[in-house]
Amino acid sequence: MARAWADISLEAVGANVRALCERVAPASVCAVVKADGYGHGAVPVARAALGAGATWLAVAQVPEATALRAGGIVAPVLLLSEPRPDEVDEALAARVDVTLHTDSLIAAVGRAAADRPDGSPPVQVHLKVDTGMHRVGAAPADMVALARQVLAHPELDLRAVWTHCAVADEPTRPETAMQLERYEACLTDLAAAGITVPLRHVANSAAALLHPASRYDLVRCGIAIYGIAPAPSLAVGLPLAPVVRLATEVSFVKPVAQGEGISYGHRFHTERDTVIATLPIGYADGVFRRLGELGQEVLIGGRRYPMVGAVTMDQIMVDVGPHAEVRAGDEAVLLGTQGDEQISPEDWAVRLGTISYEVVCAIGARVERRHLSS
């Protein structure tokens, strides 16, 4: 048996995608499955999302696209970042839509596309414009020249122009409107130059839910398809079904006297005679080391018990109190529901001062993913 496992509800993924499709229509939904589906398993999540109405998938790196194709996925896949020069051939072999925003990569992809056998379909190019995220992307003033460079290669097809929102999860801030204005100005410049943009996309999960003007033709939804609001404060009236349930079993139970130190550094001392349960999961599996010192709770027998002491690489300790009927072999839930209680990725994120994206992406490779269709 696995020492720890994550039950992934593909039914919940489908429900979330259907809700998103209804919310953003007539725009289409692109399910973002980078980072192995945010730690949930890219291929099973992709299948569930496509089956629920998503029409596109998106990944960050070429090997992620290759893994989707190896898993039998034939739907359009957008590569969200420029490939490295040594990855261009692999990207074309995976039949991805390629994001480009530099002269050098447009030239490299054009050469690679020209070297393919006669009759190969054109490579679909999505030009990325930096409207304010300032991570990657071309300056708006350079977009007409870049589009002309793409069109100069008969083996390339300019399918889309896109950008990415930086603060869409904070709806009162003005930057999203500013980014949309810059994006619209870019489209106007392209149209004035006689360049057609068949597909426009801007919105991530937060923008898709909170900024209807950003939806255009396609929305790129990541965190929302995994049942997590883009920010803890955003319920936005959209029912999102939890997708992941992270669990393990109690491996050892022992009485510990009052005043004894627990775990490395003895940063926690028992305040009374009590019982400590050990769970075979640790920071190597994605349970952040500080959660023990912050008192994050675990569910055992449908009740909440606090982690105590520092989380170690392979194990954590839980104070189940002097009278708890906890035994080795009992299920312990770190994320998800047990009985009437629930612990969410947002709960961890709030304690840690981070975002729920980091919580689910951190679930380690030793944790067995169990993909449940119902």
Q: Are 155 and 123 contacting, i.e. CB atoms less than 8 angstroms apart?
A: yes
- Residue 34 annotated among the catalytic residues of the structure: yes
Residue 67, C-beta contacts closer than 8 angstroms, at least 6 positions apart: 42, 43
> What type of residue sits at position 50?
L
CA 221 vs. chain centroid, Å, equals: 9
Query: How far is Cα 352 from Cα 370, in angstroms, rounded to an integer?
Result: 26
125 φ/ψ angles, rounded to the nearest 5 degrees? -115, 135
- For residue 298, the cross-strand partners are 305
Element (H, E) at 299: strand 297-300
CA 246 to chain centre: 16
Helix axes 143-151, 103-114, angle to 10 degrees: 10
Token pair, residue 275, equals: 């019982």
Residue 157 phi/psi, 5-degree rounding, is: -125, 120
Contact 225, 45 (CB under 8 A): yes
Decide: 18 and 50 in contact? Cβ < 8 Å: no
212, 217, 223, 225: CA torsion to nearest 10: 100
Choose the catalytic residue: 38, 254, 264, 283. 264
Residues 6 or more apart in contact with residue 208 via CB below 8 angstroms: 20, 23, 24, 27, 214, 215, 219, 221, 224
Inter-residue contact 42 to 77 (CB < 8 Å)? no
Q: Which entry of 34, 183, 216, 357 is annotated as an active-site residue?
A: 34
Q: Which residues are catalytic?
A: 34, 264
